[in-house]
């Protein structure tokens, strides 16, 4: 296996691990929001994530170029607002519907990449996008209507798509750690500013603190570092299709740990999304990518 192929495989595995981590948080967040307000939860979560990363890698910020710092600030704002909207939407809609709508970034990402980065998305890639979207629908939807929760979750999905495209354009392997720390700090500031007028409500139960720390350290800090590094290797649309596995993992953990029953729809939808990911991973690169690996903009 060549060095390039090995690095690409590692990047794919990093995105999958990050996606699994995100998927494990859906039922935790749904439960936690019954006791802790949305903005307060996010402010605490990303403040802890920022503090952990600064303790682990204090010198990473000094090695960050001025351009990468500016890019990370923009990406942090996009991600922070998306997190607020997605989590607020989750309080007003079913977790399954939230998972499906959030997964719409898999459709928006190639559109934004084509417009903003002037990349060429091939027919095979669009086929994988369509398969992933159909799989998400089979996996998650059982009736659907657009209300307040669904609308703001859709806006969040568009912001996530912009974040994916931005990471694909701006991230570099040597800058990934520093950019992740800046993004986490900006996300924390966005959430703190949003919740400051009403004060901050902290978790009052040990199990809630354990959930918050898990989501801060693993689904927050570690996941964002993994995503930022992986997207310095993989193009945006390919990354989005891999990340569409999030609802599959969400369903898996809901069955394993959340007490939900496995259904044929879960199995069929999961297989369809997995199939879409395998299409972009197993197909010839020249036919799948149709994209520039890294752009400086």
- What's the first-to-final CA gap in the chain, in angstroms? 32
Sign of CA dihedral 289, 290, 296, 297: negative
Question: Tokens 């520093």 map to which residue?
Answer: 178
Nearest to 39 by CA among 192, 224, 204: 192
Of 134, 42, 109, which is closest to residue 81 (Cα–Cα)? 42
Structure confidence at residue 25 (pLDDT)? 86
Residue 160 in contact with residue 105, Cβ under 8 Å?
yes
- What is 109-124 written as a DSSP string? HHHHHHHHS-PPPPHH
Q: How far apart are CA 111 and CA 128, in angstroms?
A: 14
DSSP H or E segment with residue 85:
helix 66-90
Asked whether 45 and 216 are in contact (CB, 8 A), the reply is yes
172: left (phi over 0), alpha (psi -120 to 50) or beta: beta
Distance CA 102, CA 32 (A): 19
Q: What confidence tens digit (pLDDT) does each residue in 191-248 have? A: 999 898 888 889 989 999 999 999 999 999 999 999 999 999 998 988 998 998 888 8
If we measure between CA atoms, which residue out of 132, 134, 135, 141 comes closest to residue 93? 141
Spatial separation of the C-alpha atoms in residues 100 and 149, rounded to whole Å: 13
| pTM score | 0.84
Residue-by-residue pLDDT tens, the chain, 297 positions: 565 888 999 999 999 999 999 888 877 887 888 899 988 999 999 999 999 999 999 899 999 999 999 999 999 999 999 989 988 887 787 766 777 788 888 888 988 988 888 888 788 888 888 888 888 888 766 665 668 888 899 899 999 999 999 999 999 888 999 999 999 999 999 999 989 888 888 998 999 999 999 999 999 999 999 999 999 999 898 899 899 888 888 888 878 876 777 778 878 888 888 888 888 776 655 444 444 444 433
- CB burial class (10 A; 0-12, 13-18, 19+) of residue 269? buried
125 within 8 A of 178, measured Cβ to Cβ:
no
Question: Which residue, chain included where needed, has tokens 């798509």?
Answer: 161
Of 67, 180, 167, 174, which Cα lies nearest the Cα of 117?
167
At residue 295, the pLDDT reads 42
What is the predicted pLDDT for the residue at 101? 82
Helix (H) or strand (E) holding 95: helix 95-102
Please give the angle made by the CA atoms of 21, 27 and 30, to the nearest 5 degrees: 125
Residue 84: how many CB atoms within 10 A of its CB?
A: 22
Distance CA 11, CA 239 (A): 9
Give helix 236-243 / helix 264-282 axis angle, nearest 10°.
Answer: 160
């Amino acid at each position: 296996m060549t060095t390039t192929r090995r690095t690409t495989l590692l990047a794919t595995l990093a995105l999958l691990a990050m996606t699994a981590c995100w998927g494990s948080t859906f039922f935790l967040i749904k439960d936690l929001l019954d006791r802790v307000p949305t903005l307060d939860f996010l402010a605490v979560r990303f403040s802890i994530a920022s503090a952990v990363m600064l303790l682990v890698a204090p010198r990473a910020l000094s090695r960050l170029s001025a351009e990468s710092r500016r890019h990370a600030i923009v990406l942090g704002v996009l991600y922070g607002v998306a997190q607020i909207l997605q989590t607020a939407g989750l309080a007003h809609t079913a977790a399954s519907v939230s998972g499906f709508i959030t997964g719409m970034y898999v459709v928006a990402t190639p559109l934004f990449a084509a417009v903003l980065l002037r990349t060429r998305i091939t027919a095979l890639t669009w086929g994988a996008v369509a398969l992933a979207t159909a799989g998400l629908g089979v996996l998650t939807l059982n009736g659907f209507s657009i209300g307040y929760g669904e609308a703001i979750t859709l806006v969040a999905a568009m912001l996530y798509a912009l974040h994916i495209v931005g990471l694909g354009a701006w991230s570099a392997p040597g800058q990934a750690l520093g950019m992740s720390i800046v993004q986490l700090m900006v996300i924390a500031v966005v959430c703190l500013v949003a919740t400051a007028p009403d004060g901050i409500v902290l978790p009052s139960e040990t199990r809630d603190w354990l959930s918050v720390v898990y989501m801060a350290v693993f689904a927050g800090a570690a996941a964002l570092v993994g995503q930022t590094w992986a997207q310095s290797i993989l193009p945006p649309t390919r990354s989005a299709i891999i990340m569409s596995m999030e609802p599959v993992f969400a369903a898996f953990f809901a069955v394993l740990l959340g007490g939900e029953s496995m259904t044929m729809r879960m199995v069929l939808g999961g297989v369809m999304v997995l199939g879409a990911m395998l299409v972009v991973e197993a197909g010839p690169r020249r036919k799948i990518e149709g994209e520039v690996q890294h752009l400086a903009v």
